[in-house]
């Protein structure tokens, strides 16, 4: 059945519910180039403003999955479980989490993406390791999943191509925040990859796409229901993103902090969230009797990391890139750090070259921000609050301006925010 694109746009613009046939047609026609970018842009804006019913979202997701191939992981001997984060600042959790869960007996088929704007990308971080490659064939992906139990790579060209095309369009048309489109984008790829279970880390706060707990909870609920409708056991944690995770924001600096965690150390918040997500993943994989903390402390997680990096051509012993320019920003007064705003620090890292404004832009492996002080820590006048790192000194002034008001020093104790806000599912 064929439709006129303008009729589909008008139906949603006027608050109507799209039929299954309309959704199937418009997703397929756009993927094949029969619906123009400007028409899909108008429809995406109508969806942002008018929303979608649960039935519409489910059908839209199914149409995205049907636009490409669906991987079969049934021959993988271990139970499969994946994790997805909606994106944040300093969010390096995938790096220690994937080998940790693999070290505990599950297989983790982690298809990841690149950063855009102030949010970092897992693939960008890993590409700071000499030799490591993000692109794997389906055969390489399945072989590594069976041998090592851990894969972090980019999605293949055949996986949900409708999402790849629509994602790029949403980014340049101001429709990224549409909950139906976020949910279908994430879940179409995760369902198509064939994982048996999925744990979602839905960020909420100034450094996240979801600024309010209510919106984050709605997104989490929508994705959990989509996963379960497609036979994927899915749960979600709502986690705070008002403050950057850990002390590093960038690429190579986040890899180094992840290595600290895998060695049994690292910042307390990164360790807490890594272990919380690991326990959820292991429970979903039927391995709830395994304590992931043991694998961090006895070296198994680090061994799994090294095997994963080697399998993708990387050298786990190679030194990581170091920035040419380092500028230290010092406290003007004594007191206690009251807050570190995630969006200000994330934008500063982006200005320094750690992120990109467009998908085709290059990133600097060495650029980023290193926090010397976090909320609740005492500081004396003249102490270093944070470092700005860049390859190009011309990038420092704009980053300095973005970060200038991000770290607030006060007199009293800092407000305590729970890292894990809620669990959905």
Q: Among all residues, which ones are annotated catalytic? A: 84, 163, 170, 185, 189
Structure tokens at 233: 């056991």
Residue 285: partners with Cβ closer than 8 Å, 6 or more residues away = 78, 79, 80, 81, 101, 105, 106, 196, 197
Report the distance separating Cα 251 and Cα 355, nearest Å: 9
282-317 in b/e burial notation, b at 16+ Cβ within 10 A? bbbbebeebebbebbeeebbbebbbbbbebbebebe
* Whole-Å CA distances, 404 to 118, 292, 377, 378, 387: 16, 38, 18, 19, 12
245-266: burial string, b at 16+ Cβ within 10 Å, e else: bbbbbbbbbbbbbbbbbbeeeb
What value, to the nearest 5°, has the Cα angle with vertex 151 and ends 267 and 239? 40
Tokens of 247: 């002390």
Among candidates 244, 248, 228, 266, which has minimal Cα distance to 343?
A: 244
HSE-CB of 404 using CA atoms within 13 angstroms: 7
Residue with tokens 């986040």: 254
286: tokens are 């039927």
Token pair, residue 250, equals: 């960038």
Give CA–CA dist 32/356, Å, rounded.
28
Q: Phi then psi for 116, rounded to 5 degrees?
A: -145, 130
- How far CA 78 is from CA of 109, 155, 205, 255, 306, in Å, comes to 11, 21, 36, 27, 19
Structure tokens at 22: 């309309």
Start-end of H helices in 104-172: 122-126, 138-147, 161-171
Relative orientation angle of helices 300-311 and 252-262, to the nearest 10 degrees: 140
- In the chain, the N- to C-terminal Cα span, in Å, equals 37
Return the ∠ at Cα 128 (arms to 327 and 250), rounded to 5°.
Answer: 40
């Amino acid at each position: 059945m064929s439709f006129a694109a303008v009729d589909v746009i008008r139906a949603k613009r006027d608050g109507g519910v799209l039929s299954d046939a309309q959704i199937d047609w418009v997703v397929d026609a756009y993927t094949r180039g029969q619906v123009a970018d400007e028409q899909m842009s108008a429809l995406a804006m109508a969806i942002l403003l008018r929303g979608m019913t649960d039935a519409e979202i489910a059908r839209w997701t199914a149409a995205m999955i049907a636009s490409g191939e669906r991987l079969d992981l049934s021959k993988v001997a271990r139970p499969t479980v994946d994790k997805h984060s909606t994106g944040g600042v300093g969010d390096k959790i995938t790096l220690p989490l994937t080998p940790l869960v693999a070290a505990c007996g599950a297989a983790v088929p982690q298809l990841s993406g690149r950063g855009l704007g102030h949010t970092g990308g897992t693939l960008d971080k890993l590409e700071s390791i000499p030799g490591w490659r993000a692109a794997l064939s389906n055969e390489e992906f399945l072989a590594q999943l069976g041998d090592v139990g851990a894969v972090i790579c980019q999605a293949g060209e055949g996986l949900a191509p409708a999402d790849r095309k629509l994602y790029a369009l949403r980014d340049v048309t101001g429709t990224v925040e549409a909950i139906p489109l976020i949910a279908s984008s994430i879940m179409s790829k995760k369902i198509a990859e064939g994982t048996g279970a999925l744990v979602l880390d839905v960020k909420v706060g100034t450094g996240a796409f979801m600024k309010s707990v209510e919106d984050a909870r709605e997104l989490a609920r929508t994705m959990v229901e989509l996963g379960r409708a497609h036979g994927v056991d899915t749960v979600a944690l709502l986690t705070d993103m008002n403050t950057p995770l850990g002390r590093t924001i960038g690429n190579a600096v986040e890899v180094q902090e992840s290595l600290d965690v895998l060695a049994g150390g690292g910042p307390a918040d990164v360790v807490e969230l890594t272990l919380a997500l690991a326990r959820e993943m292991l429970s979903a994989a039927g391995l709830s009797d395994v304590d992931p903390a043991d694998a961090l402390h006895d070296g198994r997680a680090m061994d799994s990391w090294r095997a994963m990096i080697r399998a993708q051509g990387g050298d786990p012993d190679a030194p990581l890139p170091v920035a040419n320019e380092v500028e230290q920003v010092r406290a003007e007064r004594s007191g206690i750090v009251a807050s570190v705003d995630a969006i200000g620090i994330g934008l500063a890292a982006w200005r320094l070259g750690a992120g990109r404004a467009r998908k085709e832009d290059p990133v600097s492996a060495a650029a980023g921000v290193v926090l010397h002080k976090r909320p609740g820590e005492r500081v004396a006048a003249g102490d270093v609050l944070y470092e700005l790192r860049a390859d190009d000194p011309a990038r420092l002034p704009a980053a300095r301006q973005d970060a200038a008001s991000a770290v607030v020093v006060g007199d009293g104790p800092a407000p305590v925010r729970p890292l894990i806000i809620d669990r959905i599912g």
